[in-house]
């Protein structure tokens, strides 16, 4: 699905959709995303007016509230050309797979949304599809494992590509996580609405993380990163959970010869 | 069966705290889920089979009236009778009347979720018929006076010691725990006599084949075949969606059903029944009756957003894959159908208002959709039901959201409709939470997100947005 298709021309300019969470809670992830893209020779534009795709309200059932926010997203991003990159599989899935449902009463808007969605890529999807999973060869010493965030895996279809990207980093000792494709229990508002169930699911995940023994857990969605890190901190564990954009950006910085592989 | 969906939260909490059940229920992942994964991997045309299975069900449900008519005609041609029951009560009454008229004494039941909808075994016992479940798991559940925990493994939550206690009155805590074979032999000894004296059987239907008027039963214990051959009256019960057009379709559906359910390539028994015994045949019942149950399914059929749920073939794969089901267990869902499929059909069949927690109890991970043999998009329907409970979008009476919740989302929307508001709102939150944070994390946050910090630290909200960071970055590089 997202193999390196070398016949596709490599984009040299994209628009970043930060996602509301990265924008306000985790700007580091956003900066790392920009650094990764620039390393690949891609110029990154940022639309100052962006806020949210509408997913939080949509997933909670409040479509009347999600609708104008999503419509605003479409209005904003249809004004720019070329690929849109977001460091979140969940937000990518909202725009690509669920705007059709949200806008089902408005065929014209649904159609416009689809055209925006067709240009929207999740970060690791974008990198692996246009540049290949071996395009970033930095170095980062340490042990790491990878959790497969649900929406990136099942809605966007990115599975092993991020792992290939991680194993391409010098000094990074990768060991696969048991039940890597099982949910961490985040689920947006679900994590707050039903914290007991959300945490029981998380506990299973954290048991496997601790059994894995890696000092770093890599994931590609900020919500899942916070769910796992928040739980590990509460357990008193020193394991760090980081967004893949940060690992890649850090590896690039650590690399001796940061040259663009094009 | 009376719906108890309203107790979801408390039942879930009980199960979360029950270490024995948590351990027992692991089997649905390590056994069934992994089994399905291997079986699907070993089937080269697996994805094509799923696509075909979905197409067969889509087509059948779109022409359900036609195929039900065809099925009824062919069952009658084969010498059977057909009864369409509008609801569980009507179905129960019909079967009990039938049993009275035939002077039935003992009824053996094989596994059927639809009979659970009817509360049939209990009702028949109350009417004075000795009614015994013959599927081992169902038998255990009947002895325990519980309801099934799982679509295909009704007693999956029971430990072997639990089962020993139910099968052997003399069994005490601390006695050696019998192994599965020994437990099966104990049940077999008890059930054998019942099989011999039974004069009526009630079975489910895995698939009803319209073109031939036959029913197919998938079992692993042989009790299904005993039920369809020994007693003089055979009553088969089915939900009105359990129908496929042809025998060719059956070959596709059996392949995906069995692999998805247990990971077997084929079950120990696949029983095809074409009605009552024919003159030239040596065994089989003297009468065959098919009871086809609506019980709210018409509502699903008429609901374009929910209709796809009628494609379900009850394999249980979505339960095994579901991280929520594996923690809260089958009884939390409060009715016959647990897990992801239960979370979408139960609210429509029994009333969304009391069942609003069922669609809410999901991380929307999508594992159910991924494993479904007929590709039912369960997450999409969970979201649809959330829409209905949040806003009363199809029926004002279905709205269960609180005024506070509605207010929060209204405020959220206002905050998201302009970049300045978005930035100012976030900065206010970050300043307000700052005194509570240490090293960028908080151990306690105020409502409405206070639930988070019951078990997890919460990240401090950044003092600067990405927008301002990038602006600084660009200024720096100029």
Structure confidence at residue B83 (pLDDT): 98
Structure confidence at residue A261 (pLDDT): 46
The distance of B166 to chain A (nearest Cα, Å) reads 30
Q: Is residue A42 located within the same domain as residue A139? A: no
With 0-12 CB in 10 A as exposed, 13-18 as middle and 19+ as buried, what is B351? middle
Per-residue pLDDT tens for B210-264? 999 999 999 999 899 999 999 999 999 999 999 999 999 999 999 999 999 999 9
Q: Is residue A61 located within the same domain as residue A116? A: yes
Q: Is residue A17 located within the same domain as residue A93? A: yes
Residue B409, CA distances (Å) to B403, B414, B461 in order: 10, 9, 19
Among residues A161, A157, A158, A208, the alpha carbon closest in space to that of A184 is found at A208
Provide the β-strand partners of residue B438. Answer: B441
Q: pLDDT tens digits, chain A, 262 residues: what are they? A: 444 555 578 999 999 999 999 999 999 999 999 999 999 999 999 999 999 999 999 999 999 999 999 999 999 999 999 999 999 999 999 999 999 999 999 999 999 999 999 999 999 999 999 999 999 989 999 999 999 999 999 999 999 999 999 999 999 999 999 999 999 999 999 999 999 999 999 999 999 999 999 999 999 999 999 999 999 999 999 999 999 999 999 999 998 554 544 4
Query: Residue B477 pLDDT more than 80?
Result: no
* CATH numbers and ranges of domains, chain B: 64-297 (3.40.50.10420), 418-477 (no CATH)
Nearest to B449 among A65, A187, A192 (CB): A192
Query: Residue B92 pLDDT more than 70?
Result: yes
Q: Is residue A190 located within the same domain as residue A111? A: no
Q: Is residue A84 located within the same domain as residue A146? A: no
Nearest to B455 among A181, A186, A231 (CB): A231
Token pair 């930095």: residue: A138
Task: Give me the long-range contacts of B325-328 (CB less than 8 A, separation at least 24).
Answer: B325/B28, B326/B25, B326/B26, B326/B28, B326/B29, B327/A197, B327/A200, B327/A201, B327/A204, B327/B12, B327/B15, B327/B16, B327/B22, B328/A197, B328/B8, B328/B11, B328/B12, B328/B15, B328/B16, B328/B361
Whether A262 is in a domain gets the answer no
Nearest to B323 among A52, A185, A231 (CB): A185
Domain boundary among A99, A128, A157: A128
Segment (H or E) for A233: helix A222-235
The distance of B90 to chain A (nearest Cα, Å) reads 36
Which pLDDT band holds residue B474 (cuts at 50, 70, 90)? confident
Q: Is residue A173 located within the same domain as residue A84? A: no
Structure confidence at residue B283 (pLDDT): 87
Domain containing residue A230: CATH number: 3.40.50.1860
- Containing structural domain, residue A19: 13-128
Whether A259 is in a domain gets the answer no
Nearest to A183 among B367, B456, B464 (CB): B367
Domain boundary among A102, A128, A154: A128
Whether A191 is in a domain gets the answer yes
Domain boundary among A84, A109, A128: A128
Query: Which pair of tokens denotes residue B421?
Result: 């508001």
Which pLDDT band holds residue B1 (cuts at 50, 70, 90)? confident
Whether A3 is in a domain gets the answer no
Q: Is residue A60 located within the same domain as residue A87? A: yes
- Measured between CA atoms, the residue of chain B closest to residue A222 is B459
Whether A1 is in a domain gets the answer no
Contact yes or no for B363 and A187 at CB 8 A: yes
The rounded percent of chain B whose pLDDT value lies above 90 is: 95
Per-residue pLDDT tens for B372-395? 999 999 999 999 999 999 999 999
Residue A202, CA distances (Å) to B196, B407, B428 in order: 50, 29, 30
| Residue pairs between chains A and B whose CB atoms are closer than 8 Å | 196
Segment (H or E) for B109: strand B106-109
The sign of the CA dihedral A34, A37, A41, A42 is negative
Q: Is residue A244 located within the same domain as residue A156? A: yes
Residue A30, CA distances (Å) to A49, B199, B473 in order: 15, 72, 12
Whether A149 is in a domain gets the answer yes
Query: Residue B33 pLDDT more than 70?
Result: yes
A42 touches chain B (CB under 8 A): no
A259 touches chain B (CB under 8 A): no
Q: Is residue A181 located within the same domain as residue A94? A: no
Q: Is residue A123 located within the same domain as residue A150? A: no
Total of domains in chain A: 2
A200 touches chain B (CB under 8 A): yes
Q: Is residue A140 located within the same domain as residue A78? A: no
Query: Which pair of tokens denotes residue B141?
Result: 């559940």
SS3 B285: coil
Q: Is residue A123 located within the same domain as residue A165? A: no
Per-residue pLDDT tens for B177-204? 999 999 999 999 999 999 999 999 999 9
């Amino acid at each position: 699905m997202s193999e390196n298709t070398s016949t596709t021309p490599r984009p040299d300019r994209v628009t970043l959709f930060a996602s509301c969470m990265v924008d306000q809670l985790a700007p580091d992830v956003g900066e790392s995303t920009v650094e990764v893209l620039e390393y690949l020779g891609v110029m990154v534009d940022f639309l100052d007016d962006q806020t949210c795709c509408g997913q939080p309200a949509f997933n909670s059932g409040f479509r009347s509230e999600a609708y104008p926010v999503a419509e605003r997203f479409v209005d904003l991003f249809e004004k720019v050309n070329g690929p849109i990159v977001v460091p979140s599989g969940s937000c990518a899935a909202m725009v690509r797979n669920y705007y059709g449902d949200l806008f089902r009463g408005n065929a014209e808007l649904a159609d416009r949304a689809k055209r925006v969605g067709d240009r929207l890529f999740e970060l690791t999807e974008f990198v692996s599809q246009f540049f290949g999973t071996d395009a970033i060869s930095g170095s980062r010493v340490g042990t790491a494992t990878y959790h497969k965030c649900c929406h990136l895996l099942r809605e966007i279809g990115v599975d092993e590509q991020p792992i290939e990207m991680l194993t391409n980093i010098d000094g990074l000792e990768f060991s696969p996580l048991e039940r890597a494709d099982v949910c961490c229990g985040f689920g947006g508002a679900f994590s707050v609405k039903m914290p007991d169930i959300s945490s029981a699911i998380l506990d299973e995940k954290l048991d496997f993380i601790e059994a894995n023994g890696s000092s770093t857990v890599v994931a590609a969605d900020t919500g899942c990163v916070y769910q796992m890190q928040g739980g590990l901190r509460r357990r008193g564990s020193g394991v760090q959970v980081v967004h893949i954009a940060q690992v890649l950006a850090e590896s690039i910085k650590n690399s001796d010869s940061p040259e663009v592989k094009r | 069966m009376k719906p108890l969906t309203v107790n979801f939260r408390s039942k879930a909490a009980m199960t979360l705290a029950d270490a024995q059940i948590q351990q027992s229920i692991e089997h649905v992942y390590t056994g069934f889920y992994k089994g399905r994964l291997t079986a699907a991997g070993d089937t080269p045309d697996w994805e094509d089979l799923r696509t075909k299975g979905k197409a067969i069900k889509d087509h059948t449900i779109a022409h359900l009236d036609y195929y039900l008519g065809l099925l009824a005609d062919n069952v009658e041609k084969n010498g059977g009778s057909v009864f369409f029951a509008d609801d569980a009560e009507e179905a129960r009454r019909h079967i009990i009347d039938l049993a009275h008229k035939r002077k039935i004494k003992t009824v053996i039941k094989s596994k059927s979720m639809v009979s659970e909808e009817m509360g049939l075994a209990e009702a028949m016992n109350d009417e004075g018929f000795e009614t015994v479940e013959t599927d081992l798991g169902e038998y255990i559940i009947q002895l325990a006076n519980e309801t099934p925990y799982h679509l295909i493994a009704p007693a999956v939550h029971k430990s072997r010691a639990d089962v020993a206690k139910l099968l052997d009155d003399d069994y005490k805590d601390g006695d050696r725990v019998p192994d599965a074979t020994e437990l099966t032999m104990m049940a077999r000894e008890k059930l054998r006599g019942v099989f011999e004296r039974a004069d009526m059987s009630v079975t489910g239907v895995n698939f009803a084949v319209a073109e031939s008027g036959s029913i197919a039963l998938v079992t692993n214990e042989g009790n299904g075949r005993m039920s369809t051959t020994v007693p003089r009256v055979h009553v088969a019960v089915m939900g009105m969606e359990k129908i496929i057009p042809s025998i060719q379709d059956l070959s596709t559906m059996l392949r995906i059903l069995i692999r998805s359910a247990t990971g077997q390539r084929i079950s120990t028994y696949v029983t095809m029944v074409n009605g009552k015994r024919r003159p030239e045949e040596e065994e089989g019942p003297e009468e065959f009756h098919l009871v086809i149950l609506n019980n709210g399914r018409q509502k699903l059929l008429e609901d374009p957003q929910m209709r796809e749920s009628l494609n379900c073939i009850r394999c249980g794969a979505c339960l095994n894959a579901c991280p929520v089901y594996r923690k809260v267990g089958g009884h939390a869902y409060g009715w016959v159908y647990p897990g992801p499929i239960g979370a979408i059909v139960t609210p429509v069949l029994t009333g969304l208002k009391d069942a609003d927690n069922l669609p809410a109890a999901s991380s929307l991970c999508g594992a159910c959709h991924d494993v479904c043999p007929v590709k039912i998009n369960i997450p999409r329907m969970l979201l649809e039901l959330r829409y209905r409970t949040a806003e009363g979008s199809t029926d004002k009476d279905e709205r269960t959201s609180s005024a506070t919740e509605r207010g929060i989302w209204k405020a959220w929307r206002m905050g998201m409709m302009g970049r300045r508001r978005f930035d100012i709102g976030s900065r206010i939150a970050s300043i307000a939470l700052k005194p509570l944070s240490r090293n960028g994390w908080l151990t306690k946050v105020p409502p409405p997100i206070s639930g988070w910090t019951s078990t997890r630290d919460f990240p401090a909200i950044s003092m600067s947005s990405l927008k301002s960071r990038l602006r600084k970055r660009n200024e720096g590089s100029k």
